[in-house]
A and B are shown apart, each in its own frame.
Chain A
Amino acid sequence: MAEMTMVEALNLALDQCMDRDADVCLMGEDIGINGGVFRVTKGLYEKYGARRVMDSTLAECGIIGTAVGMAIYGLKPVTEIQFSGFTMQAFDQIEQNMARMRNRTQGRYPIRMVMRTPYGGGIRAVEHHSESREAYWAHTPGLKVVIPSGPRNARALLAASIEDPDPVVFYEPKAVYRAFREDVPETHETMPLGKAQVVRPGSDISIISYGAMMRVCREAVDDLVELNGIDVELIDLLSISPMDTQTLSESVSKTGRCVIVHEGHQTCGVASEIIARLNEHAFEYLCAPIRRVTCPDIPFPYFQTEKQFLPDADTVIGAVQETLAWE
């Protein structure tokens, strides 16, 4: 075990996956000698060389499109898009080829690749650097969408994504990149994709969240439990697609109440999908309408306003209290 930030843990996962499998290669802008703009690939260029750690031209669509080709050829590229706001440039290739090449060719060309990209607000970045548009990719058949919340699960989920036989969109909560350290085992570790984690069992209400919002939720839960004596069940979704419907519906069938927290916009967001599934699987156990705590349907504002724009613990506490007050 070693104490690591999420950046260090991701680096460890990349290093070990490259060490284990010569077909794993990295592609992205400034990921070579520069180690990536967030330094996630630091030291890998020196260790594995320019053939396996490829500095790409400044073309996001080009990175994803050529990575698809490399995957068709049998390699396992792990691409880095510097900010998730720039994945829009690559939308074309993600939709036309990355997500559906396997289906188009009836399994002849599986696409074993990962699109890593930091997402979310809270680091005082300029425009187009703070988006949380994971719902786009969850809406796209053929992709898996994974969002870790801390160093240890980030490492295990990235390793699992690289080993997965299908294309994975891997959203890294950049507000968490260096926010705290966790013990991360030095030996290779993976977690199954598509499984949520009950972080704190409870009986009064379920809070479902993922990524950077997990920190906000933990803070809210501490208060709710200590101050108000509310026995909250907190769930870390970890995989947006496929989604662990069973864990979510079991929790809400038990508590009867639920608040979903994410940074992404509200309309047709991940929370909307969770509510739809709970409606299908836990309807008769619901004691109150399920509430969403999300960012408004407004483009992410310039950073002087981001603190107000992002949900905080008080927003979550308020939503929980309103849900509990509903009889």
Chain B
Amino acid sequence: MNRTMSTDFKLPDLGEGVHEGQVIKLHVRAGETIREDEPLMEVETDKAAVEIPSPCTGRVERVHVEEKQLVHVGDVMFTFDTGEDAGQSSTTEPTVTIAAAPSTPVAVPAPSTSHRRKAASPAVRRLARSLNLSLDDIAGSGAGGRITRADVEAHAGTATAAQGAGDSAAQIDIPATSITPVAAAPHSPLAVEGIEDTDEYGAIVRQSLSQARKTISRVMSTAWQTIPHVTDCNDADITELDCMRREFNDPDNPGRRLTILAFVVRAVCRSLQAIPILNASLDEDSGEVIYRRYVNIGIGVETERGLVAPVIRNADTMSVGEIADALEIITTNARSASFGVNDTRGGTYTISNAGAMGPTRYSTPIIQPGQVGCLALGRARKMPWVVEDRVVPRLILPLSHSMDHRLVDGGREIPFIGHLIEDLESPMRFMV
């Protein structure tokens, strides 16, 4: 049985976060015996000079340090023989060595500025990944060359087309190397249901039109083909109107929200009364103009079934608040599809709140058969505007107004739109 048992004594952390110290005095030499808790050495750190008592009873096999030597926490100071021959054994565990992390800096390659990644949002990157496209192959059309969703989609289309061309390349003898090397993306993941088919350029999906879409299609064709459209693009500065709208709180009806659209409807009614030809209709068969004494405003609403235009009847007799209530009802009903065909009939003029659907500004609204004008509202936004020779931010509402040039000329249309803009820009006129 081996009666010797070596134990190293390492310098403990004597203070809080002390790393090193100087040996001031050694109380034992190699070969001497020492009892547990008898003084071993004195060490001075930058916090304190302390006497270190022996952690065990035994014979000092080796002293690893000298007086005045700089020692670090974790360095072995002494090796003891704590076997039975050397004295009573101790259960002292060697202290945990605190390994100093190497402070040599690891060489890091300098960041290269020559090659920056292509700019694209995470969502666009995800789309490209799902289409198995490399962003390196796509040109960015966004700000600073950023690749947009549209760029990826367009490229995916090109890639599909190019691939389709590639399939027939051998037949028409175009070298395969000239084909854009796009990773295989056999089908763009169209989230549409229908009959899978192919045309001469690649895979397609055939889907039947809904009944509603068929109706819209037919009406649009008729309107576009029979009515010579002229569209007047204009702007209304609605900064003040918007302020007034926000500050106004209807004491009789605190829950009511006055929307810009409600004011526009009101202003359109007033303008129609001033220029009644815009509220008329043309009867080519009889060769008559039919002026209406009533004003029924159709409001274009985007629904799941497509665009519909439910009508606010006798809108000219309503206050802005009443119009707001009517708008609330028709949009709710239209979106929940709880409206009937009759609700969309009898309109004399139509307003399309196109800006509600997205960032559109100007467009060509198509006139409903039986009417002579149609107004589209773009998305209002703050614009730099010249007011009294100073450029100031104003809230600008883009207006696109189509007229039936068979019945109306600029001589009537321009005063109409002028009246409308003046109303919107001087909201006090509503009150008087």
Q: Do A and B come into direct contact in the complex, CB within 8 Å?
A: yes
Q: A residues engaging B (CB < 8 A)?
A: 219, 222, 225-229, 256, 283-288, 313, 318, 321, 324-327
CB proximity of B394 to chain A, nearest CB, Å: 12
User: Is the CB–CB distance between B121 and A287 below 8 Å?
Assistant: yes
Contacts A228-B381, A229-B353 given: A222-B126 contact, CB under 8 Å? no
User: Is the CB–CB distance between A229 and B358 below 8 Å?
Assistant: yes
**1/0 per position for B367-380, CB-CB distance to A under 8 A?**
00000000000011
CB proximity of A295 to chain B, nearest CB, Å: 21
User: Is the CB–CB distance between B126 and A284 below 8 Å?
Assistant: yes
User: Is the CB–CB distance between B381 and A288 below 8 Å?
Assistant: no
Closest 10 CB pairs of A and B: A229-B356, A327-B148, A287-B123, A286-B122, A284-B126, A226-B259, A327-B142, A228-B379, A287-B121, A284-B122
Contacts A324-B359, A327-B146, A327-B150 given: A229-B379 contact, CB under 8 Å? yes
Q: Is B166 an interface residue when CB atoms closer than 8 A count as contact?
A: no
**1/0 per position for B351-395, CB-CB distance to A under 8 A?**
001011111000000000000000000011110000000000000
User: Is the CB–CB distance between B259 and A227 below 8 Å?
Assistant: yes
Most interface-central of A222, A284, A326 (chain B CB within 10 A): A284
- B124 is contacted by which of A222, A287, A318 (Cβ under 8 Å)? A287
User: Is the CB–CB distance between B121 and A326 below 8 Å?
Assistant: yes
Determine the chain A residues whose CB is within 8 A of the CB of B150 once the complex forms.
Answer: 327
Q: Is B260 an interface residue when CB atoms closer than 8 A count as contact?
A: yes
Determine the chain A residues whose CB is within 8 A of the CB of B121 once the complex forms.
Answer: 256, 286-288, 326-327
- Known contacts A226-B356, A227-B380, A327-B146; 6 additional CB pairs below 8 A are A227-B261, A228-B355, A228-B380, A256-B123, A285-B123, A288-B121
Determine the chain B residues whose CB is within 8 A of the CB of A284 once the complex forms.
Answer: 122-123, 125-126
- 18 pairs of residues in contact across A and B, judged by CB atoms under 8 Å: A226-B261, A226-B356, A227-B259, A227-B260, A227-B261, A227-B356, A227-B379, A227-B380, A228-B356, A229-B353, A229-B356, A287-B121, A287-B123, A287-B124, A288-B121, A313-B246, A326-B121, A327-B142
User: How far is B245's CA from A12's CA once the two chains are assembled, in angstroms?
Assistant: 35
User: How far is B149's CA from A324's CA once the two chains are assembled, in angstroms?
Assistant: 13
User: How far is B393's CA from A318's CA once the two chains are assembled, in angstroms?
Assistant: 12
Q: B residues engaging A (CB < 8 A)?
A: 121-126, 142-143, 146, 148-150, 246, 257, 259-261, 353, 355-359, 379-382
User: Is the CB–CB distance between B122 and A283 below 8 Å?
Assistant: yes
Determine the chain A residues whose CB is within 8 A of the CB of B126 once the complex forms.
Answer: 284-285
Determine the chain B residues whose CB is within 8 A of the CB of A229 once the complex forms.
Answer: 353, 355-358, 379
User: How far is B218's CA from A138's CA once the two chains are assembled, in angstroms?
Assistant: 60
- A327 is contacted by which of B149, B246, B260 (Cβ under 8 Å)? B149
Most interface-central of B123, B246, B259, B260 (chain A CB within 10 A): B123
User: How far is B353's CA from A225's CA once the two chains are assembled, in angstroms?
Assistant: 11
- A321 is contacted by which of B142, B260, B261, B381 (Cβ under 8 Å)? B381
Determine the chain A residues whose CB is within 8 A of the CB of B359 once the complex forms.
Answer: 324-325
Determine the chain A residues whose CB is within 8 A of the CB of B257 once the complex forms.
Answer: 222, 226
User: How far is B146's CA from A285's CA once the two chains are assembled, in angstroms?
Assistant: 17
Determine the chain A residues whose CB is within 8 A of the CB of B125 once the complex forms.
Answer: 284
CB proximity of A120 to chain B, nearest CB, Å: 21
The chain A residue with its CB closest to the CB of B378 is: A228
CB proximity of A34 to chain B, nearest CB, Å: 32
User: How far is B124's CA from A325's CA once the two chains are assembled, in angstroms?
Assistant: 15
User: How far is B257's CA from A313's CA once the two chains are assembled, in angstroms?
Assistant: 16
User: How far is B127's CA from A285's CA once the two chains are assembled, in angstroms?
Assistant: 9
